[in-house]
Amino acid sequence: MGTRRPLALWSWSRSCRQAPASGSLCQPVRDICRGLRDNAVRLLSLRGCRLCDRDFGRICRALAGATSLAQLNLNLGVVSSPSRIKQLAEALRTNRSIQSLFLHGSPLTDAGLALLNPALALHPALVALDLGDCMLGDEAINLICGLLPPDGAKSGLKELTLSANPGITPKGWSRLAIAVAHSSQVRVLNLDYNPLGDHVAGMLAVAVASSRTLEVLDLEGTGLTNQSAQTLLDMVENYPTALRSLVLAENSISPELQQQICDLLSEGEEEEEVAGGAGDTQEWERGREPAAHQRGSSSWMCPSDPSSQMVLMTSGLGDSLLAETEM
């Protein structure tokens, strides 16, 4: 029996241009498909790539049967049409290994998510989903709530990103808040750059107080004022929660209120660390890939040894593309 190839990190960024469609399958796509079929790829990032429909379909067919792939990054418009959504959905219906799926900046709309949702709902391993800037509305929220099952149901998402979806109304956010309050799984919820306002923030405070698992809530740039900050402060001060991080930057909130909340959360985290209860969360946080905020250096490493553990390309735009998920 031959020696198994080491698991690889594969990232093909927007700075890489594809071979002409009239020619044979370009080498990066050929290598990606081979790596997926050989179960030699754990993390695959096609972030912002200019793939033709033919090659996107080939990659989807290859990832359908991949058993080693844990993280798939299709951010920034890779899933750009209903036909591609259907191809991805078909792949996810067969795949059993993907734990993290990033679709940030894809023009899904509610209709596109409806096509994708059955595969997401039935996927046995998916725990992290990024649907930021996907042009979603309230109908999409109804579907997403189904991915956050209540206690005793199928294991649901642990990390959900819905950044920059201004089409979602307060009615949609209230439904999400109820789902989060009753979900036994969600640890990280990113709602930054949505026009939430104080009313929605009040509903989210109730959800945080009810949740036994929510540890990170990102409300950066969501139109909050001191009114909602005071509600959040009262919640943190008077009710025991699992919350460790609350992001309130770029809101009309006084620095004093923000500091008070930060201090209270820090005190709670220190107490839990002393009690030995922070290990699981630290492992989870080390495994996260922020949807669109981290920055990294531009580089291209392509070892000549074909059995090397890593083939990594990063965008010339300075965005950090990959971080291994430890789950």
The pLDDT of 304-308, averaged and rounded, is 33
Residues 207-263: tens digit of each pLDDT: 999 999 999 999 999 999 999 999 999 999 998 899 999 999 999 999 999 999 999
**Mean pLDDT of all residues in 45-74:** 95
Mean pLDDT for the stretch of residues 275-287: 45
Q: What angle do CA 154, 168, 293 make, to 5 degrees?
A: 80
Query: Which range is least confidently modeled, 27-41, 199-213, 236-250, 281-295?
Result: 281-295
Average pLDDT score over residue span 6-29: 53
Asked if pLDDT for residue 2 goes beyond 60, the answer is: no
What local confidence, expressed as pLDDT, does residue 267 receive?
84
Q: What is the pLDDT of residue 325?
A: 33
- The C-alpha atoms of residue 188 and residue 214 are separated, in whole angstroms, by 6
pLDDT tens string 94-113: 999 999 999 999 999 999 99
Cα Rg of the chain, angstroms: 20
- Would you tell me how many other CB atoms lie within 10 Å of the CB of residue 212? 13
Q: What is the mean pLDDT of residues 192-202?
A: 97
Q: Residues 6 or more apart from 233 whose CB is under 8 A from it?
A: 257, 260, 261, 264
Homologous superfamily of domain range 28-272: Ribonuclease Inhibitor (3.80.10.10)
Mean pLDDT, all residues of the chain: 80
The answer for residues whose C-beta is within 8 angstroms of residue 205's C-beta and 6 or more apart is 228, 231, 232, 235
Beta bridge partners of 144: none
Residue 295: its pLDDT value, please? 29
User: What is the average pLDDT across 29-34?
Assistant: 92
pLDDT tier, 28 (very low <50, low <70, confident <90, very high otherwise): confident
**Mean pLDDT to the nearest integer, 68-83:** 96
Does the pLDDT at position 320 exceed 70? no
Given a cut of 60, whether residue 297 has pLDDT beyond it is no
Residues 6+ apart with CB under 8 A from 113: 131, 134, 136, 140, 143, 144
Based on the number of CB atoms within 10 Å of its own CB, is 205 exposed (0-12), middle (13-18) or buried (19 or more)?
Answer: buried
Q: What is the pLDDT of residue 322?
A: 36
For 142-194, how does the pLDDT look when each residue is reduced to its tens digit (9 = 90+)?
Answer: 999 999 987 655 678 999 999 999 999 999 999 999 999 987 789 999 999 99
Average pLDDT, integer, range 54-69:
96
